[in-house]
Structure 1
Amino acid sequence: MTEILIRNAEKKDLPAIQRLLSTYFLDMEELEPEDFVLAEKEGKVIGCAALIRDTSNENTFLELHSIAVHPNLRGKGIGTRLMEYLINTIDSPEMPGAQVCELYVRTTAPGFFEKLGFITMQDAEKLLIWEDCRKCEHFEKCAQHAMKYFRVS
């Protein structure tokens, strides 16, 4: 079996990230290629996920974003490896002040994140955290589940 490499993305990976995200009608919004980590097999990008870091407040706000695995390779642990890699970066020296943090995700696949230790948030909590949810006309029938992962390092 061929080894799967998890690595940080670079600018040159932008076309591969965009191709994979477009499979699921996802876009990069305000993300840069360097915000992503990639799963690579035989030199081809087969999965990606981004970690948004906002350190403008006293607490570090972290959100998992734009998670995608090639449709033919779903269910093989690639998404789990990407998430574990990102969760482990919270403890890295590049993340000062992240010893106590909450990691957030909005997802249509809550079962996947529950297996990783995430818990579902109430709608009131969701409205406090995401301004775009407050403004969304679809909030009452939103397909996205807001979830959080609390970590004390």
Structure 2
Amino acid sequence: MGDLEIQPATADDVPAIVALLADDPLGAQRESPDDLTPYLTALERLRSDPHQHLVAAVREGRVVGTLQLTIIPGLSRRGATRSVIEGVRIHADERGGGLGSRLMEWAIDTSRREGCHLVQLTSDNTRTDAHRFYERLGFTASHVGFKMAL
């Protein structure tokens, strides 16, 4: 995998991360790479919260992947802490080379170190390739998700 580093995202990484988030039909509708102000504000909120981990996978100085890991202390499941993986994106040039697996391994290992008993994620119904990827990693489609835009 070369000189790949998985590291906390910085403000300098934000343009590349937003480009990754916008690089598919769903993301193209939701993201605004031309105005980074809300993303930089969000990064500061994330960096001030020890339960949030926004990472950039960097190879040869270039952001080639990202994900966000959120640690959630809870009361259910006998007071179990869980984690949520969101915003998993791999640069088109890097897909199929194991980078996604490396990022997910990082998230799962970090979840274990943080004392999590469960790792969960959601994936849009249309992302069937992603669903196969998550199932290969051992995730199971166990719930129906609901959202409400505010």
TM-score (structure 2 length as normaliser)? 0.69
- Number of residue-to-residue matches in the alignment: 122
Instruction: Give, in whole Å, the separation in 1 of the partners of 2:147 and 2:107.
Output: 27
Tell me, yes or no, if structure 1 residue 51 matches structure 2 residue 69. yes
Q: Work out the percentage of aligned pairs sharing the same amino acid.
A: 29
Q: Distance in 1 between matches of 2:10 and 2:81?
A: 24
Shift of the alpha carbon at 1:115?
1.3
- Indicate if the aligned counterparts of 1:38 and 1:82 stay in contact, CA closer than 8 A: no
Higher helix share: 2
Cα distance in 2 for residues equivalent to 1:117 and 1:48: 20
Query: Which of 102, 105, 115 is 2:121 aligned to?
Result: 105
Deviations 1:91-129 (A, max 9, x none): 22xx2x42xx21111122211011111111143xx4xxx
* 1-structure distance, mates of 2:147, 2:91: 32
Root-mean-square deviation (CA), in Å?
2.5
Contact 2:71 2:111 in 1 (8 A): no
Corresponding residue of 2:12:
12
**1:7-46 map, 5 Å:** 7-24=7-24, 25=27, 27=31, 32=43, 34=47, 35-46=53-64
Give the conservation status (yes or no) of the 8 Å contact 2:86–2:121.
Answer: yes
1:11-45 per-position Cα deviation (integer Å, ceiling 9, x unaligned): 432222112211131657x9636431221111000
Please give the alpha-carbon distance, in whole angstroms, between the structure 1 residues aligned to 2:14 and 2:147: 31
| Structure 2 contact 54–68 (Cα < 8 Å) conserved | yes
Which protein is richer in strand relative to its size? 1
In the TM superposition, residue 134 of structure 1 has moved relative to its aligned partner by: 5.4
